[in-house]
Amino acid sequence: MRRLVAETRIHPAQLVLPMFVAEGIDEPRAIRSMPGQVQHTLDSAAREVERAIAAGVGGVMLFGVPTAKDAVGSGASAPDGILNVATRFLAERFGDATVVQTDLCLDEFTDHGHCGVLDERGAVDNDATLERYADMAIAQAEAGSRILGLSGMMDGQVEHVRTALDAAGHLDTAILAYSAKYATALYGPFREAVDSSLTGDRKTYQQDPANRREGLREALLDIAEGADIVMVKPASLYLDVLADVAAASDVPVWAYQVSGEYAMVEAAAANGWIDRDRMIAESLTSIVRAGADVVLTYWAIEHAQLLGTHGLGAPTTGAGR
């Protein structure tokens, strides 16, 4: 009866799996702050994508972890950079069996860890960064990425990248704009996952957690610039922003259940403080209930398999009373 009258349902295709592919490793390397997650080799990444396809997951979002970094993140646009190599490897192997997507940001590739190029004062130079994003976009599209995740939060990034893609003939490469991306404490485990070099914070270009209306305003600006999809990140603590964007947007709205959200649930479950499976299901249900069309989550394969066991779209938030 509960399943019959449920107002919110999740399909496996609404889940996207974020994945880290590292250069210079011979076997998957565990991420200590994200139990169950690893930095992949090319071969282990392929096996994980196979699992995702079998479970019905909608796509994978790739992050590169390079061995060498510099001030402008040269490896991000180099054809032999780890992210572009991994994208090409997986796109050629799996074709249209899944949607290979890529993170378009410099933070994994810069020796200072910021999402952009720095000026002589050590501040992020917005316009110089846009030029690097354009180079990255073309490199990722040529490698086979179908959706580019613009996560750097630079002003004008969507329009600049769209113009560059169109000029290079990549008219069908879609742009996922991380429109409402907040400067949150929840990114902590991700910094370990990508071997971040960041010291300090990104408050000058990510949004203030106190601001709700700003999230909607940023999303509408990105839509006006040509975004095909807009993102709210993180998800769980920003469901009000997500609901606002979903109500106003005429393009798909996605949300990212980030590393800190994952780590908190895993830690609490490991201590026996919460029911892990129910918490995963409830957290994802709340994000979709707030208006997300798709959720990026590290539990994508696991939850898709659970949905398949219970019947596609069946709520799995427990039989407890």
CA distance 80 to 63: 15
Pairing mode of beta strands 29-30, 38-40: antiparallel
Q: At what angle do helices 42-55 and 300-310 cross, to 10 degrees?
A: 30
**How many helices and strands (H and E) does the chain possess?**
11, 10
Would you state the structure tokens that stand for residue 315, as one six-digit string? 């709520």
Asked if residue 198 lies in contact with residue 113, where contact means CB atoms within 8 angstroms, the answer is yes
**Is 181 part of the annotated catalytic residue set?**
yes
The catalytic residue among 69, 160, 181, 202 is 181
The catalytic residue among 40, 114, 233, 303 is 233
Would you state the structure tokens that stand for residue 125, as one six-digit string? 């130079």
Beta strands in 23-157 (DSSP E): 29-30, 38-40, 59-65, 99-104, 147-150
Asked if residue 148 lies in contact with residue 203, where contact means CB atoms within 8 angstroms, the answer is no
Q: Which long-range contacts (CB under 8 A, 24 or more apart) does 207-215 make?
A: 207/153, 207/180, 207/181, 207/182, 207/183, 208/182, 208/183, 209/182, 209/183, 209/184, 209/237, 212/240, 212/241, 212/244, 213/244, 214/180, 215/179, 215/180, 215/182, 215/241, 215/244, 215/245
What residues are labeled active site? 181, 233
